[in-house]
Amino acid sequence: MPAQQKIVFLDRMSLDANVRKPAFHHEWTEYEASEAGDAASRLAGATIAITNKVPIRAPDLDKLPDLKMIAVAATGINVVDLEVCRERGIVVSNIRDYAVAAVPEHTITLMLALRRNLRAYSDDVAAGRWEKSKTFCLLDHPISDLSGSRLGLIGYGALGKSVAKLALAFGMEVCVYNRSPINDPHVTTLPLDELIRTSDVISLHLPLSDQTRNMIGRAQLEQMKSTAILINTARGGLVDEAALAEALINGRIAGAGFDVLTVEPPQPDNPLLKLRLPNFILTPHTAWASKQAMQTLADQLIDNVEAFVAGKPRNVVV
């Protein structure tokens, strides 16, 4: 390993936090943003690459003989060709458990907003309907408590567990579908079909893979209660977006709150972008992005880089 590390951060603008410089001799270059085709040229001569969402694929890696580490400034590592990194001995590290408050709080916020129809009532007030009411309030949209309702969690990692903790504090019954065994006396494990059929709120907390892609499709949406809502703050691609749009338009389910889409930034023809429904809330992949979470991410990112240079790599994916 060379005495001086050359570090290149491909998309610094993706992280609104103080990124301290590593405590070893190095050359640091950062770009606010990079296109997919920029990776090879901008990483030329680099020993350490930092990327959040800029892909580093096999053709790029073939042109980067000096590269020894890729520090992913996120949990998801699908932007990196892991197999080629494994073959070439390039260490890939990611960020873990940095948003265990931010994402669960956003998830609960979406649940509350939808169950209490906040968007519909806010729109009514803006349209002047409250002023014309014959009584002191408007009651045109159903309002339901989280307390006493069943939350179905699909996936039970760190984020799923944090959502469960908050949901239990609200008085919800928490049921979980997870491929690995669960030893938690506060939740009930259910088969996936039963969880989908019986939950009042379904929330997704698992990675995107060939096995989970479109795991919530038309068949699963038809199994849900007509009064149920679907939350996705995990990964785009877990839900068939066209099927969800159809279900919402037809009133097949009561609502949905999403923070992620299959392609980001989204394409103009994404069916969810066209929805103008009070029972659908779409946020632009911001569930993770509290100030506190981003700073934790930034600190862990440099911890990963320093650990690698010290010969004790951490949070290693390959």
Q: Catalytic site residue 306?
A: no
CB 150 within 8 Å of CB 172: yes
Return the amino acid letter for 21: K
Give whole-number Cα distances, 198 to 60, 100, 176, 223, 280, in Å. 47, 27, 12, 9, 21
Cα–Cα distance for residue pair 85/91, rounded to 1 Å: 7
Whole-angstrom distance, CA of residue 299 vs CA of residue 21? 10
Annotation marks residue 106 as catalytic: no
Residue 164 in contact with residue 186, Cβ under 8 Å?
Answer: yes
| Catalytic residue (one of 96, 285, 306, 314) | 285
Q: Which of 42, 115, 235, 241 is catalytic?
A: 235
CA distance 255 to 119: 11
Between CA 241 and CA 271 the distance in angstroms is 7
Count of C-beta atoms within a 10 Å radius of residue 207: 15
Q: Name 57's Cβ contacts closer than 8 Å, sequence gap at least 6.
A: 39, 81
264, 276, 306, 314: which one is catalytic?
Answer: 264
264 in active site: yes
Q: Please give the positions annotated as active site.
A: 235, 264, 285
